[in-house]
Amino acid sequence: MVGAGTMGAGIAQLACIGGFETWMHDPDPDALAAGETRIAQGLAKGASKGMWDEDEAAAARERLHLAGELEDLGECQLVIEAAPENLAVKRELFAKLASICGPHAILATNTSSLSVTAIAAGTERPERVCGMHFFNPPPLMRLVEIVSGDDTAAETAEAATEVARAMRREPIQAADGIGFVANRCARPFTLEALRLLGERVSEIDQIDRIVRIGGGFRMGPFELMDLVGVDVNFDVARSFWEQSFHEPRWQPHPIQARTVAAGRHGRKTGRGYYDYSQGPHRPDDPPLPEATESPAYADPVRFDGDGFAAVNLGDAAELAPPGPLNTLEFSEQRHSIEPERLVYFLALPSLSESTVVELARGPQTSDSALAAAGAGFAAMGKHVECVLDYRPGLVLGRILAQIVNEAHFAVGQGVATDQDCDTAMRLGFNWPRGPFEWGGAIGLRRAVAILDALHRSLGEERYRVSPLLRRRAEEEPQPERS
């Protein structure tokens, strides 16, 4: 193991517990000593939590050896580096390792953003170079992306996969594309949230609340950016955009640049998109209301060309006070509903399964119609969120549609399989569903409808539909009519 920081020591700990004699090197003696202490503490903590017993921890500790010089790694069959994310630094390091280690040694990089092919170009044996991208902190995060560069031999990737499994991790296979799998599929989670904010469709706290309650995510996109670091997230966004020669889907948002320039870098500075100086940055999410009515129709609710269902709230006399739930009727044709009674709603993955119903006004929607719709959905036991402005997909639908789209682009370009994309997001980011699982839940036709409507209304190429997604959507069975 080259590097004894948080990532390096964490990976070395996994190697020791996996049964491998492990040599750890760091050019800084103090960092090497600190890494040794971190590993000892990690093994002891794991034993106290029942992850392994004390005898296993003691045996693992005996497998750790400190390497004061890089040359001490000469007999190692596998070397994993966790050096700074700098291509020149990594290429120089790999060239040295290739000259030190035997001809059959595998050299693996833990890079999260650099090209494995470019790193391997610094050696004379690029077929023995691969990526082993662990997630932070390695002892707690089960995912490892095994990345094959252009010249990586199949047996190299297979050996790295076996090692990851011995470390008690879950390996997935990835081609050497920008962001590999997990970081790529995660891009829309924050970028679409920023666009929703910039277009004044919704506000920060509401976007996060909808994503948490409605999507089942542990935190909303703005909370996540604050946790990771707004500056770090912005740097990653710029890296994706620049490496892709300005792919529109990956374009950073000016809000990111403005927030970073203001020094609001997130939790580490006390303020990001939220203020952390006065205790909890947000209130607890409200409980779901108690259901008092049952819907008088069956799932799936019909939706129009933008992926929405339109709500007709019946006779004007029933609008004040809000009428009973059975006044709600659903129509696929917007023009069939009087404009003042038109309310758009979106409930994902379906109305029966949803916990949040998002509402949006039409151009002439009355306050009483909006209130009646909200009361009706609350009577079903749904949390209701009225967004500021209408856009196809509203909040959760728009974010999920782009997540589904990005994953289909990745698979269509041969970066990973459907299953590995889902595994990456569930294990690497603790998502409740992977992108293809989300696609199955909300329906590929609905995702395409939302994206096409966004493309029409906004005229932006970032909403073009992946050819693979469109083909699969066309093959998807038509929903039953209710």
- The last residue of a domain, from among 176, 210, 236: 176
> In this structure, is residue 186 part of a structural domain?
no
C-beta of residue 6 within 8 angstroms of C-beta of residue 129: no
CA distance 406 to 425: 12
> In this structure, is residue 121 part of a structural domain?
yes
Q: Does one domain contain both 317 and 169?
A: no
Beta strands 309-312 and 329-331, pairing class? antiparallel
Strands (DSSP E) found in 356-444: 356-361, 383-386
Could you give the residue numbers annotated as active site?
112, 133, 145, 183
Q: Does one domain contain both 315 and 172?
A: no
Number of domains in the chain: 2
Number of helices (H), then strands (E), in the chain: 18, 12
DSSP state string for 5-37: SHHHHHHHHHHHHTT--EEEE-SSHHHHHHHHH
C-beta of residue 170 within 8 angstroms of C-beta of residue 143: yes
> In this structure, is residue 69 part of a structural domain?
yes
Contacting residues for 14 by C-beta, under 8 A, at least 6 apart: 134, 138, 139, 167, 168, 169
pLDDT at 301: 37
CA distance 380 to 250: 38
- The last residue of a domain, from among 161, 176, 191: 176
Cis peptide before 286 (omega within 30 of 0): no
Contacting residues for 27 by C-beta, under 8 A, at least 6 apart: 70
Q: Which three-class secondary structure state does DSSP give residue 249?
A: helix
Q: Which domain holds residue 27?
A: 6-176
pLDDT at 79: 98
> In this structure, is residue 125 part of a structural domain?
yes
> In this structure, is residue 463 part of a structural domain?
no
C-beta of residue 10 within 8 angstroms of C-beta of residue 137: yes
- The last residue of a domain, from among 386, 413, 441: 386
pTM of the shown model: 0.90
**How far are the Cα atoms of 319, 352, 437 from residue 463, in angstroms, in the given order?**
37, 28, 20
Beta strands 78-81 and 106-109, pairing class? parallel
> In this structure, is residue 367 part of a structural domain?
yes
> In this structure, is residue 67 part of a structural domain?
yes
> In this structure, is residue 93 part of a structural domain?
yes
CA distance 461 to 246: 11
Residue 217: which of 229, 204, 228, 208 has the closest Cα?
208
How many Cβ atoms are within 10 Å of 342's Cβ, its own excluded? 25
Residues linked to residue 171 through DSSP beta bridges, in sequence order: 144
pLDDT at 293: 66
DSSP state string for 201-227: SS-HHHHHHHHHHHH--SS-HHHHHHH
Contacting residues for 476 by C-beta, under 8 A, at least 6 apart: 443, 444, 445
pLDDT at 312: 39
C-beta of residue 256 within 8 angstroms of C-beta of residue 194: yes
pLDDT at 480: 54
For position 64, which CATH number holds?
3.40.50.720
Count of residues making up the chain: 482
CA distance 395 to 192: 9
CA distance 104 to 120: 15
Residue 139: which of 226, 60, 234, 227 has the closest Cα?
60
Query: Mind listing the pLDDT tens digit of every residue in the chain (482 residues)?
Result: 999 999 999 999 999 999 999 999 999 999 999 999 999 999 999 999 999 999 999 999 999 999 999 999 999 999 999 999 999 999 999 999 999 999 999 999 999 989 999 999 989 999 999 999 999 999 999 999 999 999 999 999 999 999 999 999 999 999 999 999 999 999 999 999 999 999 999 999 999 999 999 999 999 999 999 999 999 999 999 999 999 999 999 999 999 999 999 999 999 999 999 999 988 899 999 999 998 865 543 333 343 444 444 443 333 223 333 322 222 333 334 445 677 777 778 888 877 888 999 998 878 888 887 888 888 888 889 999 999 988 888 999 999 999 999 999 999 999 999 999 999 999 999 999 999 999 999 989 889 988 998 998 899 999 999 999 999 999 988 755 43
